Amino acid sequence: MSVELAYVIFLMAALLVFSKLRAETAVLIVFLGGWLCLPVGHYAAETSQAAFAYWIVGAALPSDLLLTKAWVAPVAALLGALGFDRHRLLRWRPGAADVTMALWCSWPLCQVLFLGSSSPSPKPPSWLSSAYLFGTWGATWVLGRVYFSNAASQGLLIQGLMWSVVACLPIAAFEGITGQSIYGFIFEPHPFRFDGSERYLGFRPLGFFENGNQYGLWVSLCALAAVWRALSLQSGRESGRFVSVAKTLAAVGVTVAVAAQSVGALLLAILGGAFLSVGRVIRLRFLVVCLAALMLITSLIYVSGVIPITQIGKGTAFGQSVVNGFRAVGRGSFTWRISQDQKLLPEIKAHILVGTGQWDWWRSKGIRPWGLAMLLLGQFGAIGLSLCFGSVLWPTLREAWRVPRASGWQTSAMPLLLAVIVGLTMLDALMNSFIFFPAVLIAGSLAERRPIPV
């Protein structure tokens, strides 16, 4: 099936879903279903056949691949809402919470004003890049703002995440055992079908995601949501049968996540669980301040090149032992990604404030950064990076700052769980450009100010 035909069929199916179901449910089915089932985009033949198509930066940023599922899924959901729930959608009024996201999506239009006359024209053109960002990040954000900004709808959102990992079970069973890509049977050869597919036991599935890392992150974070739901229901007043079903689904989710064998994603999910647990011991605001300060200082040092990481890794006994240790446990990709970043620091620092405006600014080196943050720095500069990360992290940090000292595994801590998922997604984005896009929708759902829980 052609990619374009799949998108047309999906749009018609989305409108049908909106005509039959209430808006919140329809938005979840269309948005999550699009990410689970749609092809990523139409890859060029040479890209699909490449042994390692390193030049694919992912759907989070405008590149040479502009018609993607990251754009189609949220736009289809917005069109469905406009057609069948327009009164509610048009009643929504943007507020101060939406300014940063609007600035991020508009930044390519502003960036061109700061690029020097000797600089090449932005690639893609600034208006096209901005239109792409409004369709991917902006539309996803609006869906969260309009349809999932209260407790009832956020509970439905968590159910959607739980069912989305359960829906991956057939893919996990087939691809995890056979190593065959379902994507290639239906659409076209996936350029990342071999990238990291062989794992400790069997294969890591790919499904219809951009990359195996994205699949692993998706199922791990959704498994965390499923476990939280089961434990929070157990601590509440739900019937035993209802709790048993939730526990069963959580067990399925954890099984799918573990079977993916994406160690980094699993560690992130465990980190999220630990963060939810320590809330009964300390106020999370203190932990958030410390973590935010640590990440900021580390990032500044990393980008500045003050510490010669590459030289330490190659030229010292300590550095060699660290690199060999990662390789010994099958995590050599971590140090490899750092090495790619370090090689491109001169190009990044040459345009550190506003970026180059070029999606493939790294091409002359024959390598690219693997993390979204470094790709953003090169294409849109520190301003673009701050707007992008700030737009989704600000509601998250605010939520973590406001919660009282209590366990995060209870129903009242639902916004905290959602904030944790967003935080873990953006933490992963430091090393991966294929992100968990529902985090943008979740961030939008948290942007609305609510009474402080007591």
Would you place residue 383 in the very low, low, confident or very high pLDDT band (cuts 50, 70, 90)?
very high
Question: How many whole angstroms separate alpha carbon 397 and alpha carbon 45?
Answer: 43
Domain ranges of the chain: 3-283+370-446
Mean pLDDT of 67-77: 97
Q: Are the CB atoms for 441 and 160 separated by under 8 Å?
A: no
pLDDT digits (tens, 9 = 90+) for 397-429: 888 888 877 778 888 889 999 999 999 999 999
Question: How many whole angstroms separate alpha carbon 247 and alpha carbon 238?
Answer: 12
Question: How many whole angstroms separate alpha carbon 271 and alpha carbon 402?
Answer: 20
Question: How many whole angstroms separate alpha carbon 360 and alpha carbon 374?
Answer: 12
Task: Please spell the DSSP secondary structure of 339-361, one letter per residue.
Answer: HHHHHTHHHHHHTTTT--SBTTT
Mean pLDDT of 104-132: 91
pLDDT at 6 over 70: yes
pLDDT at 120 over 90: no
Question: How many whole angstroms separate alpha carbon 15 and alpha carbon 82?
Answer: 10
pTM above 0.85, yes or no: yes
pLDDT digits (tens, 9 = 90+) for 337-346: 787 888 888 8
**CA dihedral (440, 251, 193, 424) positive or negative:** positive
Mean pLDDT of 297-306: 78
Q: Are the CB atoms for 184 and 229 separated by under 8 Å?
A: no
* Distance in Å from the first CA to the final CA of the chain: 53
pLDDT at 294 over 90: no
Residue 325, both tokens: 């240790």
Question: How many whole angstroms separate alpha carbon 378 and alpha carbon 437?
Answer: 21
Question: How many whole angstroms separate alpha carbon 102 and alpha carbon 137?
Answer: 9
Q: Higher-confidence residue: 157 or 242?
A: 157
Question: How many whole angstroms separate alpha carbon 441 and alpha carbon 454?
Answer: 26
Cβ-Cβ contacts under 8 Å for 254 (sequence gap 6 or more)? 223, 226, 227
Range in 117-121, 328-332, 425-429 with the lowest mean pLDDT: 328-332
**CA dihedral (105, 124, 371, 351) positive or negative:** negative
Q: What is the identity of the amino acid at 400? A: A
Cβ-Cβ contacts under 8 Å for 391 (sequence gap 6 or more)? 100, 101, 103, 104, 137, 141, 443
φ and ψ at residue 344, rounded to 5 degrees: -105, 5
pLDDT at 231 over 50: yes
Question: How many whole angstroms separate alpha carbon 416 and alpha carbon 165?
Answer: 20
By C-alpha distance, which of 302, 172, 158, 139 is closest to 227?
A: 158
Query: Looking at residue 453, what is its pLDDT?
Result: 43
